[in-house]
Chains A and B, each alone.
Chain A
Amino acid sequence: MIGAVPLSYYLLLSAILFTIGAGGVLIRRNAIIILMCVEMMMNAVNLTFVAFSSYLDSATGQIFVFMVMVVAAVEVAVGLALLVELNRHKEAVNIDEFNSLKG
């Protein structure tokens, strides 16, 4: 089906998406944006899994994607819940406001 597009394209796209995500996590201060960037990184990985699954004609990669999606859903649920609580606590979504856990 996707035989027309070479594997390297997928990998390149995945790398670009991952880098954007990682850069967002590192640079942005808004907690919601960071969560979204984390999602983006995971989906970049998912893309790699699916691409290889198709390329190698193996279902394993797709199973992994389901796993990752489940984990991501759970993570979003917990992460957003935390964010809501943090927001109630400090009325802020800036991640640098929350630094009371330190050595």
Chain B
Amino acid sequence: MIGNWQSVIDKQRMTNLIWLVIALPLAGALFNGIFGRRVGYQVVAKVAPTMVFLAFLIGLGGAFETYARHGKAQLVTLWTWAEIGELNIPISFLVDPLSMTMVLVITGVGFLIHIYATDYMVHHHHGETHPDRDFARFFTFLNLFIASMLVLVLGDNYLMMFIGWELVGACSYLLIGFWHDRGDDPQPAIEIEGGEAVQVAPLLSPAASGMKAFVVNRIGDVGFALGVFLIWTTFGTLQFDQLFSRIASSAEMYRESALHGEFTVISMIALLLFIGAMGKSAQIPLYVWLPDAMAGPTPVSALIHAATMVTAGIYMIVRSNIIYTSAPNVSFLVAMVGALTAFFAATIALVQVDLKRVLAYSTVSQLGYMFMAVGVGAYTAGMFHLVTHAFFKACLFLGAGSVMHALGDVIDIRRMGGLRKKMPHTAMTFYLGGLALAGFPLTAGFFSKDEILAKTFEYSPMLWGIGIVTAGMTAFYTFRAIFLAFEGEPRDQELYDHAHENRLAVTAPLWILAVLAIFGGLLGLPAPLLHGVGIDIPHAMENWLHPVIQQVGHHEVHHLPFITELALFLISGFLGVASIGLAYYFYIVDRSIPQNLARSTHPIFALLVNKYYIDELYNTVFVKPALTLSNTMSRGIDQTLIDGIVDGSAYGIAELGKYLSQLQNGFISRYALATFIGVLFLVGYFFLGGQFPNWIY
């Protein structure tokens, strides 16, 4: 321990200071939590983003040093947390390309969102400023989240990852339910010209949404915890480096037996860890919590439920890449679940009328893409999409929040329209983010999505088919939302008149993220394709992450033929543009088309609006029986049986006491008589040859 501290001082290397990345936001959380209310909101608004920015700078230093080391992993051990028998849990951080990528995304995007939130959590009204009454609490949780997420990605063993995993879940719960006193939000039915209106279920209250998120995540976390236990009992270590080298030595054997239909222990570990990822990263069947998580403040949706926390599952799988490479059967499941989630979430997003929920289902869908990527073994492509998605989805969410802020918390796109004239910056950045999400050629989202699709095509053209259809839908629903919100005539004149562009603290992060959403693709230009046309620009992301991804066996790294690559490239590019064009035609040129479509396909439309009735299904199949069981246990077993025994025995003793207390009547002579009779009995007993019982000795 002392030695490590010594090296911190001696070498002055940023890598050894990496613990500060966690400590700074934690200090911010403590400061804002303890003094936040006293020092006033302006101080809080400076402290919280500053801490995250300092953490970002240190992360940047760490990333540069990692680059200088050619991606060699560096372990920074602070102290030993627990040592029980063979179980040794050090508090140590792993500084390698993967963790540094995550650190930069978390602190970088996190900083921008902190800045944004300093204005978003303040209401400007006729020149007066009203900060949210729990302004300090908000930033306490936000800083705490950053620290927790950094524990998750920096920990060098599965236990620290699990601690971070649980901490971010707790922060997510606290922030979804931030406005805990708000109730359910009833939604007006969707009117269809000449058709039957479609009822929309009311939105859950923030408190209930938080609880839903927490409970659904618990289900996944049980799987994750069991996976960690199984790693420990099988390999006797939770340290990444030791564990992965142990697995790597027999990885090929595991892979072969899994390919021959055997379910190995590695497959079991991979499956259990993936169940954890399903919960945290909102995949079928555990995705239901994410759309409801939109009940939280919008910066939370952007930071936690789009850019960082929900990508923890992807990070975990990329970190455990050797486990998943050794378990191709589970990897296939991951890819299938990812593809199905991407597809189903996209179909739901097509018809949602709540701007944030369109983006939420889009997040679920994009996370599905990332799982598809890591499932087919394209770990780098998954990470690349994670990074670009963090840029453009944070941009879009913050844009949606900007609209909400301007309209007084209205998020229903049926009441928007024409907002581009009122909010030029928000509209511009939303367009740019939307282009990236839609996969418009040469934006960041285009390159990352195209890479995933190309790698998937190599693995299975069927999965590619699902992916490419989803890509088309993605472009369509993104621009449907954009056109409905920002173009056309205002549908609610009063709201429109009150709308206004937001301040610099809101628009500046929007612009930075929008620029990243457009140019982030430079991190991973399609190297094989460029090579084919004679330009040698390496795939930066792949080279950077190369040391983290372990190869199993001596498989030739083979690429698709140039012509196939080109065809896939053109197809996805064309589809993106065509879908945007379709959305333009539907929602700008001829608005009667979607109306007619909704009328003629009424049952399907209603099914999509109601999200396939999955919530209702879960309520009937799982929630209601569980509640009935709890009720039976509570009323029948606990209140009747257990309480009956406990209360009954107390009642019996009280009754007995009532009778016995009559003996104590205060007359000394009676007491004396009783004593006398007692003595007579005792003396008589011994006189007649009685003995002390044995236990008295």
- Chain A residues near B667: list those with CB within 8 A: 95-96, 99
Is A103 a contact partner of B661 (Cβ separation < 8 A)? yes
Which residues A1-48 have CB closer than 8 A to chain B? 22, 25-27, 29
- Chain B residues near A103: list those with CB within 8 A: 660-665
Q: Quick check: is B666 within 8 A (CB to CB) of the other chain?
A: yes
- Chain A residues near B665: list those with CB within 8 A: 99, 102-103
A17 CA to B602 CA, complexed, in Å: 111
Q: A95-B669, A96-B667, A102-B666 are in contact. Are A26 and B661 (CB under 8 A)?
A: no
Is B666 a contact partner of A99 (Cβ separation < 8 A)? yes
Give which listed residue, B662, B663, B666, B669, contacts A26 with CB less than 8 A. B669
Q: Quick check: is B673 within 8 A (CB to CB) of the other chain?
A: yes
Is A101 a contact partner of B669 (Cβ separation < 8 A)? no
Is A96 a contact partner of B661 (Cβ separation < 8 A)? no
Interface size on B, residues (CB 8 A): 13
Shortest beta-carbon distance from A26 to chain B in Å: 5
- Chain A residues near B662: list those with CB within 8 A: 103
Is B676 a contact partner of A95 (Cβ separation < 8 A)? no
- Chain A residues near B666: list those with CB within 8 A: 98-102
Q: A22-B676, A26-B676 are in contact. Are A96 and B669 (CB under 8 A)?
A: yes
Q: Quick check: is B672 within 8 A (CB to CB) of the other chain?
A: yes
A25 CA to B669 CA, complexed, in Å: 7
- Chain B residues near A26: list those with CB within 8 A: 669, 672-673, 676
Which residues A69-103 have CB closer than 8 A to chain B? 95-96, 98-103
Shortest beta-carbon distance from A19 to chain B in Å: 11
- Chain A residues near B664: list those with CB within 8 A: 102-103
A102 CA to B668 CA, complexed, in Å: 10
A40 CA to B694 CA, complexed, in Å: 36
| Interface flags, B599-621, vs A, CB<8A=1, else 0 | 00000000000000000000000
A99 CA to B664 CA, complexed, in Å: 10
Q: A22-B676, A26-B673, A26-B676 are in contact. Are A95 and B668 (CB under 8 A)?
A: yes
Is A25 a contact partner of B672 (Cβ separation < 8 A)? yes
Interface bin, chain A? 10 to 19
With a 10 A CB-CB cut-off, give which of B661, B665, B669 has the most chain A CB atoms.
B669
- Chain A residues near B668: list those with CB within 8 A: 95, 98-99
A66 CA to B217 CA, complexed, in Å: 82
- Chain B residue nearest in CB terms to A31: B668
- Chain B residues near A96: list those with CB within 8 A: 667, 669
Number of inter-chain CB pairs below 8 Å:
32
- Chain B residues near A100: list those with CB within 8 A: 666
- Chain A residues near B661: list those with CB within 8 A: 102-103
- Chain B residues near A27: list those with CB within 8 A: 669
Shortest beta-carbon distance from A18 to chain B in Å: 11
- Chain A residue nearest in CB terms to B677: A26
A32 CA to B423 CA, complexed, in Å: 105
- Chain A residue nearest in CB terms to B663: A103
- Chain B residue nearest in CB terms to A25: B672
| Interface flags, B660-697, vs A, CB<8A=1, else 0 | 11111111110011001000000000000000000000
With a 10 A CB-CB cut-off, give which of A27, A100, A102 has the most chain B CB atoms.
A102
- Chain B residues near A95: list those with CB within 8 A: 667-669
- Chain B residues near A29: list those with CB within 8 A: 669
Shortest beta-carbon distance from B661 to chain A in Å: 4
Which residues B69-110 have CB closer than 8 A to chain A? none
With a 10 A CB-CB cut-off, give which of B660, B665, B672 has the most chain A CB atoms.
B672
- Chain B residues near A102: list those with CB within 8 A: 661, 664-666
With a 10 A CB-CB cut-off, give which of B662, B663, B666 has the most chain A CB atoms.
B666
Shortest beta-carbon distance from B57 to chain A in Å: 76
- Chain B residue nearest in CB terms to A28: B669
Shortest beta-carbon distance from B676 to chain A in Å: 6
A98 CA to B662 CA, complexed, in Å: 16
A17 CA to B668 CA, complexed, in Å: 22
Shortest beta-carbon distance from A45 to chain B in Å: 13
Shortest beta-carbon distance from B674 to chain A in Å: 10
- Chain B residue nearest in CB terms to A22: B676
A102 CA to B664 CA, complexed, in Å: 5
- Chain A residues near B660: list those with CB within 8 A: 103
- Chain A residue nearest in CB terms to B665: A102
A103 CA to B666 CA, complexed, in Å: 8
- Chain B residue nearest in CB terms to A100: B666
A29 CA to B663 CA, complexed, in Å: 19
- Chain B residues near A22: list those with CB within 8 A: 676
- Chain B residue nearest in CB terms to A102: B666
Which residues B329-377 have CB closer than 8 A to chain A? none
A3 CA to B663 CA, complexed, in Å: 49
A100 CA to B661 CA, complexed, in Å: 14
Shortest beta-carbon distance from A79 to chain B in Å: 12
A101 CA to B667 CA, complexed, in Å: 9
| Interface flags, B420-432, vs A, CB<8A=1, else 0 | 0000000000000
A29 CA to B670 CA, complexed, in Å: 11
- Chain B residues near A25: list those with CB within 8 A: 669, 672
| Interface contacts beyond A26-B669, A102-B661, A103-B661: sample of 15 additional A-B pairs, CB < 8 Å, sorted by A | A22-B676, A25-B669, A25-B672, A26-B672, A29-B669, A95-B667, A95-B669, A96-B669, A99-B665, A99-B667, A100-B666, A103-B660, A103-B662, A103-B663, A103-B665
Name A residues whose Cβ lies closer than 8 Å to a Cβ of B.
Answer: 22, 25-27, 29, 95-96, 98-103
Identify the 10 closest CB pairs spanning chains A and B, nearest first. A99-B666, A102-B666, A103-B661, A103-B664, A102-B665, A102-B664, A99-B667, A95-B668, A101-B666, A26-B673
8 cross-chain CB contacts under 8 A: A22-B676, A98-B668, A99-B668, A100-B666, A103-B660, A103-B663, A103-B664, A103-B665
